[in-house]
Amino acid sequence: MNIRRKYIATLLSLGLILMLVNVACEEDVLDKKPLGQQTSETFFETEAHAVESVNAIYSHLRSWGVHIFPFIGATDIISDDAKKGSVPGDGTQMENLDDFVHNSTNSAIFGLWNGYYQGVSRANRAINNIPGIKMDDQLKERLIGEAKFLRAYFYFFLVRGWGDVPLIKKQLSSDEYRQAKDPASEVYDLIISDLEDAIEVLPLKSEYSDANLGRATKGAARGLLAKVYLFQGDYENTEKYADQVINSGQYSLMSDVTEIHSQDGEFNSGSIFEIASAAKESTLGGSSYSTPQRPRGQNGWGFNNPTHNLMNAFEPGDPRLDATVLYVGEPFPEAEGHVRDHPDMEDEHYNQKNWSPKPVSAWNVDPENIRRLRYADVLLMAAEAKNELGKTGPARTLLNQVRERARDRQGTVGMEVANLDTTVAHPDLLTEIRNMGNESIAYGKIVFNEGAASQTDLATANAGGHDKGFFYENLDIITQVDGTPVADASEFWNALDQKSPGETMDVTFVKIEQTAPSQNSTVETTVNAEQTISLEVSQLLPDITTGDQGQLREAIWHERRVELAMEQHRFFDIVRQGRAAEVMQAAGKSNFEEGTHEKFPIPQTEIDLSGGRLTQNSGY
């Protein structure tokens, strides 16, 4: 872990701004300002205060009510991409979201409302007070721009989640706490205004020093504004701002999809806005984004499990499936070598994009950065906008860029195993053997006998413990192609590259079968006889060629789902597409009520505190 690159996360004590929010000054008690402590009267005086106030907004992005447990519940678990996970009876508030029986007392919904409005409050304090500080003008403009970007970010979640919400642009006095709703259109107006202001003053990504990676950039503001317009159905402005990101030369697709969400992939070339976290021996600087999603019993709680509905949405051989789903038995070096089966959980799968680092000292000091806006997302937004504007050719080109990157880690062909109904991704060695009839999926790896491994070695290897990365169900050791021995992976891919789609190749392999590791058991391995199968070479993730607008729309929506799976985008996407009820019913979520569940309920405590000025959303 390179702690030096976890910048903003370590810059400010989390209690500082909370102290400022809660301070009460009584002028009749003391005429002098308290010495040695910050108050709301003494804080916004220096350049350092301005920097610290904006850092406090960034710090809040890692808080519980913004991007942690309630967030994954109201974005992934509520959608068709994930189920609650964990064990029966654990996380009732999440189960209620999953089943669409949540109401105005749901603690996750309250946590989000509270968390995002606290973020708005921190942003308002910085926006309203920094202008009065005597400091470098350029830095002042940039900091206000960052605060406006973040206020827009918070309000964008609020308006998508609840629709009409109170629009607050200043620190409230005690007689202003009872707020009514403002129209969603006015909230969007402020979001757009804030992002336009931010675009004018924020630097490009390349203009920031390494010490400032994680701060909002001009590209982040443009990308978020493109998404804001997409959710309003304004395709002209979506195209405009997405194209500005694309044409800026600041971003590119990371070549290997399996590395995007790894520790080494932090702040990669395709990262437009990413929340920094740090692994330190205290709670300062970390988050707990990973903890709820890690395998249960292995420094995690086991929530947010990908569904078979999602896994079956991936095309055969798509390497993004392996990059999205973490399976029982798969190598998991952060905890005992492999993912163990938990005896009280059913049908376990975990979010692989949560790269599951081991906490440094406690559950809330995870070091994982949280990716919130990626270049692939912007490409697909631009593709969708162009298609809706009748520009099917350019839309296809952008869509196929994303597909090409997914398939083209080293080559562009895959092998379809006709008699096994499976695909071996090239050059990814993962095989998915799908049994669509009963919705079960078995998983295996194809690896290579790179020298010395004997059958005895293979038979005693533990899942995840062998250097070839074995894991349970099926392990196929390739030994020959068309009768010619292959000693390593490169020789196999070289043989495959000589083939054209439609041709066949005979692959000889030794089949290894392993049992699933239970909580404390070792893996039993059986070595079967060598066998040969004929494989048909086919194009992996072929380019989309349709010129039909409707078909292309469906292809773009499909690509958004598999590219951004388990990144907390799906629910809001299907709502804006006007097909949430259709999708949820098809996924078996029969409790979804059209006209109600597209929005969250206003927390009842907030309605009570408002004295009834805040009214409940329809249907709750």
Report percent pLDDT > 70 for the chain: 73
Q: Classify 168 as helix, strand or coil.
A: coil
**Whether residue 605 is found in the same domain as residue 492:** no
Residue 44 inside a domain? The answer is yes
Q: What is the pLDDT of residue 466?
A: 30
Confidence of residue 412 (pLDDT cuts 50, 70, 90): very low
pLDDT in tens, 526-544: 555 566 777 777 677 889 9
Residue-wise pLDDT tens digits, 472-491: 334 456 678 899 987 665 67
Q: Residue 191 sits in a domain of what CATH number?
A: 1.25.40.890
Same domain, 112 and 173: yes
Residues 561-606 have pLDDT tens digits of 999 999 999 999 999 999 999 999 999 999 999 999 999 999 999 9
User: Cα(546)–Cα(531) distance, rounded to whole angstroms?
Assistant: 40
Same-domain status, 595 and 482: no
Same domain membership, residue 597 and residue 488: no
Residue 24 is assigned to a structural domain of this protein? yes
Q: Is residue 613 part of a domain?
A: yes
Q: What tokens were used for 151?
A: 């206020």
Residue 519 placed within a domain:
yes
pLDDT tens-digit readout, 324-363: 998 877 767 665 567 888 889 988 889 999 876 666 665 5
Among 263, 501, 254, which residue's Cα sits nearest to residue 368? 263
Containing structural domain, residue 534: 413-539
- pLDDT higher than 90, residue 152: yes
C-alpha span between 276 and 186 (Å, rounded)? 31
Domain identity same for 68 and 134? yes
Find where tokens 């330190």 sit. Answer: 280
Q: What is the pLDDT of residues 70-126, one digit of tens each?
A: 999 999 999 999 999 999 999 999 999 999 999 999 999 999 999 999 999 999 999
8-state DSSP, 4 = G
In the chain, how many domains are there?
2
| pLDDT value of residue 340 | 80
**Rounded Cα gap, residues 130 and 147, in angstroms:** 10
| pLDDT tens digit sequence for 423-472 | 333 222 233 222 222 222 223 334 333 333 334 443 333 333 333 333 33
| Kind and range of the H or E run holding 337 | strand 337-338
Residues 610 and 500 in one domain: no
Q: Are residues 63 and 197 part of one domain?
A: yes
Q: What percent of the chain has pLDDT over 90?
A: 56
Q: Tell me what pLDDT residue 151 has.
A: 98
Last residue of a domain, one of 539, 560, 582: 539
The reported pTM is 0.82
532 occurs within a structural domain:
yes
Considering the domain architecture, whether residues 596 and 535 belong to the same structural domain is answered as no
pLDDT digits (tens, 9 = 90+) for 390-404: 999 999 999 999 999
Q: What is the arithmetic mean of pLDDT over 362-390?
A: 90
Asked whether residue 560 is domain-assigned, the answer is no
Residue 577 within a domain: no
For the chain, the average pLDDT equals 80
One domain, residues 466 and 614: no
Total residues belonging to the chain: 620
At 60-86, the pLDDT tens digits run 999 999 999 999 999 999 999 999 999
- Co-location of 470 and 616 in the same domain: no
618 and 529 belong to one structural domain:
no
Whether the per-residue pLDDT at 277 is higher than 70: the answer is yes
462 domain residue, yes or no: yes
Residue with the larger pLDDT of the pair 555 and 417: 555
Indicate if 1 and 121 belong to the same structural domain: yes
Specify the pLDDT at position 561.
98
